[in-house]
Structure 1
Amino acid sequence: MTMWDELFRPLEQIDFVPATNIVKKDDEFAVVLAVPGYTEDQLSLSIDDNVLEIRAQGAASTDNEVYLRREIRQLPFRYRVELPERAQVDQISAELKAGLLTVRIPLQGKKVIPVKIHSVDTTKSLQA
């Protein structure tokens, strides 16, 4: 495919990924996708091998509508993000509000491993 062909291929063939924000807080992080016009029925979430996958089905087109200009489209997409080891995957929640899909992933508390420091007298070994 030439560069010219690439520029003028139909929009449906272009890989679509919605605008995304990933926000990290101490106890959770959130993935926020801009999905205006999509319904809950069109969106699905799954987790496999600590990877969150968000998929969307495109909107069904109606044959009886004639568009003079069409810029708003609901294309199918697949978005994947690797979750941190501390993610509590069994407590993930999602909310679709005002065209934003917000997926909240709670994090387990940080593991603190105590380290004991032993002092060594190096002056004795230097005198030898």
Structure 2
Amino acid sequence: MSLVKFKRKPFGNLVTQDFFDMDDFFDNRGWVRDMLPERFWNGKRGEPALNIKETDDRFEIELAAPGFAKKDFEVTIDDGCLNIKAEKSASDEESDKNFTRREFSYQSFERSLQLPETVKQEAIKAAYKDGILSFNLTKKEEVKKIPPKKVQIA
């Protein structure tokens, strides 16, 4: 038997990954799905796909959000959570003496990710290009993997 260092995560042992998606945790509970009639549940939540890649010194997050502009996003860090919110609307109206045509659209989403303790929150960088919102999260120095070092024998 080997000993493994216990690291307390939110909600006890229910969460085993570094990034804890609050929306995913609450939206994918079976009791929520069972309360809705089957015609309302299609397995999709209408929120953008998210990729998280970890390297030795950083995390890279990509969120697919095509059709939005930089000004449509609001990104905050609060109490160890990275909160991403986007909202946009458009309307068009055409009037004539016999008719009025009015069209409008509205899109929004919110995602919240609990950041691991290993991330430098003050050094988080974000960029939006070609429909992809990218985040670069640098790890703290004390948790970066130190490469092996050869020791000379005297």
Q: Runs of at least 4 residues of structure 1 off by over 6 A?
A: none
Q: Name the CA shift for 1:7/1:92 in 2 (closer, same or farther; >3 Å).
A: closer
Output one character per residue of 1:32-79: Cα deviation in whole Å (capped at 9) or x when no partner: 001111101101111111110100003324345889xxxxx8720001
Percent of aligned pairs with the same residue?
28
* Greater Rg over alpha carbons, structure: 1
Separation (CA, whole Å) in 2 of partners of 1:77 and 1:57: 7
- The TM-score normalised by the length of structure 1 is 0.66
> 1:58 maps to which residue?
88
Aligned partners of 1:92 and 1:105 also within 8 Å: yes
Gaps of 5+ in 1: 9-13, 68-72, 113-128
Q: For the residues of structure 1 that align with 2:65 and 2:55, how far apart are their CA atoms?
A: 23
- Pairing of 1:17-56 with structure 2 (within 5 A): 17-56=47-86
The alpha carbon displacement at 1:15 in A equals 4.5
Gapped regions of structure 2 (runs ≥ 5): 1-35, 95-100, 145-154
How many corresponding residue pairs?
101
